[in-house]
Structure 1
């Protein structure tokens, strides 16, 4: 089994200024020793300590380590495992089935409270036991440990509140270690994506203001504790200057060799299909505080610094989510992507409880000669015959020539294609595509996948019913050529630089620019974040206030709205090309 791995940028986190001087404690035993030693007796009563956290934490290890410390210190401490307060499995199964359904990939996002998973009666019983224990003269402290233990009805019962956090990526790695196989692209296994992640992230958002301490628990060997107030200040400081998320790489059945070479990935990998540069919910940011590197989940970082990143965009506009996605698709010396289509906003809301569509754009970063991208239907294509051929391929394993139905367009380096929701499409072999899209990413309705298994030998799911419900039958050859391969439009120029608007449409809430610069150029954020990728040239320096950040070829950086202005500076005599995206 091939696992996702982080890039070598792990060694280059964003530094926190020395003035922050936030204190950290590293190591599970050291953290629990500190927390138990921190116990206080408010009004002479027994203190109650809560340890909540993200799915994937080893709660048994935390409880056993706490008990070991208690024994060593000869203390009398009652430890409660909050998992005993869960509703019974049958009740939960009936509830979750309504959201998970029978499809192996798709469900509906569960947007209800974490309290849904717990029994009110069991919580009431626990609260009574804690209340009695508070007045005991024989106990030194009470510990309540487990997922959800700081849900709203319990929060007032605690004197010290601590949260053990994980990134989505780390949770999935631990999930894989249990022997689970995702069977398809491994971001977002169904139960985690639709239930556990959204519930847990909402819970974390709601309780953060009441936290005393936060623990980065991503390293199984070296967890790190920091005061919650210090973490908030660190996040706001980092979000005031350009920053880069930690990429995630993954091989795939059509993956190429370009990313392996450019990003120095392991030679033993068969290929690298995807590099997730900004698929924000799945990602994290590395922050160095003195000698400690913290890995913060994007959704937490975003919650703590929303206004600095998003500027004038209201929290409700995109459901509180970061709306733009950047990722690479590498088919260089690989294979063709599936023939596929993505849903519109109405369909995705009604069927999957997501907030907005999955519209995409393809920016061609590199390509072989005479390459094409599948885009739209052929002018003479019969949709009924296309569907019949696709169904026959899925059910009977009968290959067919999809080019009888699907139009394609020629592409060169630095071209851009717009792929509004409902447009059949797919990259072919010999291309490096930078996808610049809405953050929604899960809903690839495959029509035809070339009868090709994934790297585990499993056939990837085909979703013909969904695909043909959202397929726009009017997007055909001549119309596609005129409307979906836009020509650059001059915006502005100065000494050594020129900016072009290269993609905008009412089908998208973002627009894309190409900046060609030799020397330096200054931009204003105008209250909106910018996302930048260096698509030609060795490196540039991004300067914002006192911050200077190097951006190497192919890397992606977010400039927060609050930066106000920033300067892109190239090396002596080097011409560089930067792709810039922002909300309209």
Structure 2
């Protein structure tokens, strides 16, 4: 493992990385918080039935208590307790999806209706219909009760918040597993609950009367109308926008993001920043004087064609295919030595439709930074497997450099990592990871003998890894195919464009633009994801005035929906007269690539 002394780029002196990018919802829409929200719901319902359908991991008990306080004469009914299947039956239904593995399961195709007793739902509807008092139904699946509510509320929850709750001791839905390993709880969420919940939520997004931000204390939760949410989502696909990033520590985490992104200096480290993972990140929508945190997946589910483009939607469906995130090892440690599965393996083993191809773009690097990539030509597969098994058993250390190539890593280098390639980012690197979206399928082969932040050994998946390694990706192949293959594309006054990757086996195309003046772009019918990798500040503009100018800062990732079409990026504010660079990723729609 290398050592390094972190050198923060000059751009960091501006400290202008926006950790809470907010998007204004056009029009005049009402918004409330706390007791005022329930006053608005009550007025809309006019004494009729209120249904609050909550995303799994919402605090249904607290939700019921808030409803009861606001409407003391109403009967508050926990639909989960009244009509959901018993936990043992649900566990039996999910057995095949959950598997015995600590991390990996099988993608669920269940629908929420399967987790409920239909006769109990009908009985509940009859009970509510015949009641002489007002009823409030709460819980994940409350809208399954076969009746027409007078007010339908979606209590939405971001996955980042769900994971925080898992770590704090919350359990999965209808499962008494609060003290279980957080990785196992995440597995049940990722492979089952969130898949089912998003199928169910798609219809609610179209017809909810109100949307409640359930990420914080429910007593003060902000809320707006369903119309305001729908208008906000409609407007988002016609302009550039950012997702709300979140940051996590890790055993190999570094110090670079603390300074550049203005994070808590008292934390030991930050390893990851998720800033463009719509399955995980949120949109912050400003409605009046309220800001609501809405899962970004809501936008993908509601407007996939306008966001992704017809061609990309036809290929992936309502799933965002590109991920940008940060891996910070500056003054940190090596990532685990790892490999990702080929498409056929991930499909047959886990039920995913495409795999985790990726790349490392170096935002910054210490003098001794390096990347582990591909196998050495003189590596003997049998010996390597034997040494890995011995290391996994705790009998010895694994000499990674004996079997895996290492390449120097410099600022603005770009390393392609198609699935099946052994790799790891070394210490002293600040990586912008540009990759396909299935982001948890990392098969660790060797983790340098470390334990996780929880004190438990980090999971090694050697059998999955050995089934995925492409042994013919040796030194010569790796150097020629994967290491910083920069191809000039075009240039003009004050700008030049380069192709920096990825590999022909990967569906993502990446272009880098260096510019001191305005440079024109076009989505050409597919979503673009960009990061400002050089320069303090730039502005994204419409040449036709189709959207308001959108300012971005160093290291910020932003999305330009397919619907936008033509757009222009130029230095702005403190960045005027300074060289800037963006990297832009999009789905490659052509069979041929530049060599």
Superposition TM-score, scaled by structure 2 size = 0.90
Task: Please point out which of 129, 138, 141 is paired with 1:145.
Answer: 138
Paired residue for 1:506?
Answer: 504
2:250 counterpart of 1:252: yes
2:24 counterpart of 1:15: yes
- Deviation, structure 1 residue 214: 1.4
Q: What is the 5 A alignment of 1:27-38? A: 27=34, 29-38=35-44
Paired residue for 2:12?
Answer: none
Distance 2:314 2:142 in 1: 28
Q: What is the 5 A alignment of 1:24-423? A: 24-27=31-34, 29-40=35-46, 47-71=48-72, 75=73, 77-83=74-80, 84-133=82-131, 139-151=132-144, 154-178=145-169, 189-220=186-217, 221-313=219-311, 315-423=313-421
- Structure 1 residues 405 and 373 mapped into 2: Cα distance closer, same or farther (>3 Å)? same
Query: Does the Cα contact within 8 Å between 2:20 and 2:245 map onto a contact in 1?
Result: no
Query: Does the Cα contact within 8 Å between 1:312 and 1:528 map onto a contact in 2?
Result: yes
Q: What is the 5 A alignment of 1:405-484? A: 405-484=403-482
- Deviation, structure 1 residue 245: 0.7
- Deviation, structure 1 residue 131: 3.4
- Deviation, structure 1 residue 397: 4.2
User: SS of the counterpart of 2:315?
Assistant: coil
- Which shifted more, 466-475 or 480-489? 480-489
Q: CA RMSD of the aligned region, Å?
A: 2.0
- Which shifted more, 538-547 or 343-352? 538-547
Distance 1:473 1:579 in 2: 31
2:562 counterpart of 1:564: no
User: SS of the counterpart of 1:396?
Assistant: coil
Query: Does the Cα contact within 8 Å between 1:348 and 1:355 map onto a contact in 2?
Result: yes
User: SS of the counterpart of 2:279?
Assistant: helix
Query: Does the Cα contact within 8 Å between 2:25 and 2:228 map onto a contact in 1?
Result: no
User: SS of the counterpart of 1:493?
Assistant: strand
- Which shifted more, 216-225 or 52-61? 216-225
The CA deviation string for residues 192-232 of structure 1, in whole angstroms up to 9 with x for no partner, is 11121111111101232232221122221531222212211
- Structure 1 residues 182 and 129 mapped into 2: Cα distance closer, same or farther (>3 Å)? closer
User: SS of the counterpart of 1:62?
Assistant: helix
- Which shifted more, 432-441 or 520-529? 520-529
Query: Does the Cα contact within 8 Å between 1:183 and 1:460 map onto a contact in 2?
Result: no
Distance 1:182 1:516 in 2: 49
Superposition TM-score, scaled by structure 1 size = 0.91
Distance 1:491 1:181 in 2: 54
Query: Does the Cα contact within 8 Å between 1:182 and 1:189 map onto a contact in 2?
Result: no
Distance 1:181 1:513 in 2: 46
User: SS of the counterpart of 2:524?
Assistant: coil
Distance 1:146 1:500 in 2: 51
Distance 1:160 1:444 in 2: 44
Query: Does the Cα contact within 8 Å between 1:397 and 1:451 map onto a contact in 2?
Result: no
User: SS of the counterpart of 1:384?
Assistant: helix
Distance 1:397 1:460 in 2: 16
Distance 2:33 2:69 in 1: 18
Structure 1 segments unaligned to the other structure (5+ residues): 1-6, 42-46, 134-138
Query: Does the Cα contact within 8 Å between 1:167 and 1:283 map onto a contact in 2?
Result: yes
Distance 2:59 2:485 in 1: 53
Distance 2:71 2:355 in 1: 52
- Deviation, structure 1 residue 303: 1.9
- Structure 1 residues 68 and 536 mapped into 2: Cα distance closer, same or farther (>3 Å)? closer
Distance 2:89 2:423 in 1: 42
- Deviation, structure 1 residue 372: 2.1
- Structure 1 residues 181 and 348 mapped into 2: Cα distance closer, same or farther (>3 Å)? farther
- Structure 1 residues 24 and 405 mapped into 2: Cα distance closer, same or farther (>3 Å)? same
